[in-house]
Structures are given as structure tokens and as C-alpha cells.
Amino acid sequence: MSNVCKALMNGVELAFRQLRDIGDLSEKIRPEIYDDACDASQAIRKAIGIFSTDTRFVIVHLCSDATSAALNIYRAAGMLHLIPAATSNGIHLSDNGLQFRICGNDGRQAELMIDYATAEFPRHAFAIVAEAGVTGDSQKQALLDRLKHHRRKTCKVLYIERDTNLAKIFRGADSNYPRAIFYAGHNAEIMRRVLLHLGVTQPNSLLLCFEAGGNVDLTGLSASARRTLRFVRLLPNGQNTGSDDQFQQYRLLGQAAGEVLLEALTRSASPKPPDVAMIIHGYQFETCIGRLSFDSDGESSGHHYAVVEPAAAL
């Protein structure tokens, strides 16, 4: 299990430790944990296994690819499911009113990134580096949509994989001409490779990432490479703690998902998923990341994000 998955799981477990303070609810809920390794095929197998049980509520999947692959199984089973960290705009939540997303989606994060770069670095040329897959496609499109808002007519899109020759895709870039490069995807190893490359060849450029940019291992990177990085960070209750814990936000998202579910269960007159869903749609929830509420599609508001530099670069 990856460190990110462990952090998410630890957050959920932290919320469920509160069960001892919720009367007889602790006797009715038996949490079980499954690891899909952020793999879509494994996610489907795990979801089919859950489908065969009497499970009513699930806090589902870290990655957007895995979430998208398994979501229809949970819908078919009539399970209420909370999505703590999968950000893809391609995950549609409104089919039966039983899906709720805790984190801010790609559209929200792209808005922050583009607005930040436009305001802080107006003379930089813009480019997008995109991974293939659900996450890369969703984030790329969210960035392009926000660029239209700012009437940026030109933005080169480059596609990247693990073994991509970075010198080739960045060929022709003037090292003295700064660029704001937006990274669409979640592979921290590839992001690190891009940072290494930019730190040497284009130290005046920036690499702006969605929240997964906080997972990049900065060990051994030059100061110029570290200064190149910006990423979206979840700010608990609007406060930047300045923590060096790169996995903190996943723990907080897992904990918030558990807190919403447990409070909704205590408020609901019955444990049936539609009844609990009505509570989630109708209330605000005090969580570790802020006061969350959910719209008719199950998207949340009340969390706070900002574009930050890694603490190691400050």
C-alpha cells in the first residue's frame, strides 16, 4: 500500500475511532478496508466483492481511474458512497443522489492554478504537460476551459509518459524565456523528472501541479528545481499550517469523509442509504477541513485550497 493510500486510510480510521462516543452506533458499524493499488481492474474486482455483501456505505478509492471504473457497481447496488480524493470532472455524481465528493474537483483546482499564474506571472508563456488516462484528460480539459476564461488563445499541449524523452518534447524552448507549465496528471515520479529537467534547462520557468504535486520527492533536487514547483494544497479550515507532511491532505480528506458519514448516520432516522443521503444533502458538517455542504449533484463546498510552494523551497 502506498504512503498516500496509507494516509487516506489513517484518516478514515481516525474518524471511526470516534464511534466509541456515539452510543450504540459503534455496535452497528463494522468498517472493512480494501486496497485497490490505484488500479482500475483491481478496483472493479474489489467493488464486485463488496457488491456481494450487505454493505450499505463505502468511502471509495483514492485515484480517479479506479473510482471511475468501479462507480457503476456501487450505483447498481444502491450503496451510498463518499469519494474523498478522486478529483476528475469525468466522475459524474448525480445519477441517483447517493454519491458525494469530499475534495475539490479538477475544475476548482484548475481555476486556482490558472488564476494564480495569470496574476503572478503575466509575461510567462503557458503550456500543458498531460499524462494519458482519466486524471490527465480531466485536468487538461479543466485547464483549457479556465484558459478560455482568461482569453489565452495559445497554450501548447505536450503529452508525457514514464519513458518520454523530455529533451525532445521541450525542444526549442528558450531557456531565457520563462514559461508556466501546468502538469495534468498524478504521477509524482514523472513530475520529479520534469522538475529535474526544468531546473537545469529552464530555471526561470514554473511547473504548476494539481494537489498531487505535493507528493513529489524533493530529496536531492537542486534549489532551482525546487523553486520551480507550485502545487494546489488543501488548507484545513483555511489555514496554511506550513507542514512538511506531504501526505497530510489525504489523511484529512479521509477523516472528513468518515466524519460526514458518521454524523449523517447519527442524524438519520434510518440507516437506509437514501435516508442518510437526504441528511447529507440537507446539512452542513463540521469536519477537520472546514464546514462542508453538498449541492444536488453531491459536489462539496466549504473546503479551502491555495497554490503554494513546497516548504523545502521557502
Q: What pLDDT does residue 311 have?
A: 62
Mean pLDDT over 238-252 rounds to 75
Superfamily classification of domain 3-105+245-302: Response regulator (3.40.50.2300)
The reply to whether 3-105+245-302 and 106-236+306-313 are identical in fold is yes
Compute the mean pLDDT over every residue in the chain, rounded to the nearest whole number.
Answer: 87
| pLDDT tens track for 119-175 | 999 888 899 999 988 889 999 999 999 998 887 766 888 899 888 998 888 876 555
Q: How far is CA 23 from CA 15, 27, 28, 58, 139, in A?
A: 15, 8, 10, 21, 43
Residue 21 has pLDDT above 80, yes or no: no
Q: Which has the closest alpha carbon to 50: 33, 68, 26? A: 33
Residue 313: pLDDT band (50, 70, 90) is very low
Q: What pLDDT does residue 94 have?
A: 67
* CA 143 to chain centroid: 15
Q: What pLDDT does residue 24 have?
A: 63
CATH fold, domain 106-236+306-313, is Rossmann fold (3.40.50)
Whole-model pTM: value is 0.88
Q: What pLDDT does residue 202 have?
A: 84
Bigger pLDDT: 71 vs 31: 71
Bigger pLDDT: 54 vs 25: 54
| H-run or E-run covering 131 | strand 125-131
Q: What pLDDT does residue 242 have?
A: 58
| pLDDT tens track for 206-220 | 999 999 998 898 888
191 vs 225: CA distance, rounded Å: 11
CB within 8 Å of 67: residues ≥ 6 apart: 43, 60, 61, 83, 86, 88, 91
Q: What pLDDT does residue 314 have?
A: 42
Of 89-93, 152-156, 281-285, 292-296, where does mean pLDDT reach its minimum?
152-156
Q: What pLDDT does residue 138 have?
A: 93
Contact between residue 8 and residue 251 where contact means Cβ atoms under 8 Å apart: yes
Q: What pLDDT does residue 174 have?
A: 53
Mean pLDDT over 233-237 rounds to 88
Q: What pLDDT does residue 183 have?
A: 96
Counting residues of the chain whose pLDDT is more than 70, the rounded percentage is 90
Bigger pLDDT: 237 vs 84: 84
Q: Where are the domains of the chain?
A: 3-105+245-302, 106-236+306-313
Q: What pLDDT does residue 126 have?
A: 92
Mean pLDDT over 71-80 rounds to 90
